[in-house]
Amino acid sequence: MLEDLKKEVYEANMLLPEHNLITFTWGNVSGIDRDSGYVVIKPSGVDYEQLAPEDMAVVDLEGNRIEGNLNPSSDTATHLELYKAFPDIKGIVHTHSPWAVSFAQAGREIPAAGTTQGDYFYGAIPVTREMKKEEIIKDYEKQTGTVIIETFKEKQIDPNQVPGVLVNDHGPFTWGTSPKNAVHHSVVLEQVAEMTYHTLQLNPNGIEMSQDLLDKHYLRKHGKNAYYGQK
């Protein structure tokens, strides 16, 4: 079942150690088949060196196991909430990459300070509020997804234009048009987190780029009038 998607999700997971986004098993990638509503995700706590495409777990959008002998990632419920709320996305990544986690632990968004971020994120990368005691005690992983969704609704952010978030005191989630595209956004998020951290050391005030520059860099790569790259 979904053998092509399993292979795609496996390959995307293997990009995490390749890009130094994870330590040990601190991360996961999933992908969704929108026709069936089934999600393929990395199994929980399995070393990357031991993984194979056939090890990927398959669940439905309610978290019921459809196929696979291994337990799906402990973050599966978060992924499922995002797939249900953001219908255009087809891949999700969660890591504990250190620069992004630094902002998450500080409870700070990553401001749109320069064009590297503007090429991929149409504005600041938001941070969620702290989770409440009752959200942590019951259905923690599902509630993590709920808090992410709440953040995007309250801040009126389009998840297709800002494909990533920092969960307060936890770490980043990114998403995209495929599992590999979601990993691409995770790599970019980690890079801009490091750049922005150093920028704040040099100048802690007013580092946001102008709206005109943000518009130029984001819209030249995205939307109907985009002209970056080859046709």
Active site residues: 119, 228
Inter-residue contact 73 to 43 (CB < 8 Å): yes
Q: Which residues contact 209 (CB under 8 A, 6 or more apart)?
A: 112, 113, 114, 115, 118
Show the beta-strand stretches assigned E in the chain. Answer: 27-33, 38-41, 57-59, 65-67, 91-95, 164-167, 171-176
As a whole number of angstroms, the distance between CA 53 and CA 2 comes to 11
As a whole number of angstroms, the distance between CA 128 and CA 122 comes to 17
Buried b (16+ CB within 10 A) or exposed e, 57-85: bbbeeeeeeeebebebbebbbbbbbbbeb
As a whole number of angstroms, the distance between CA 82 and CA 194 comes to 26
Pull the structure tokens for residue 116: 């590297």
* SS3 at position 81: helix
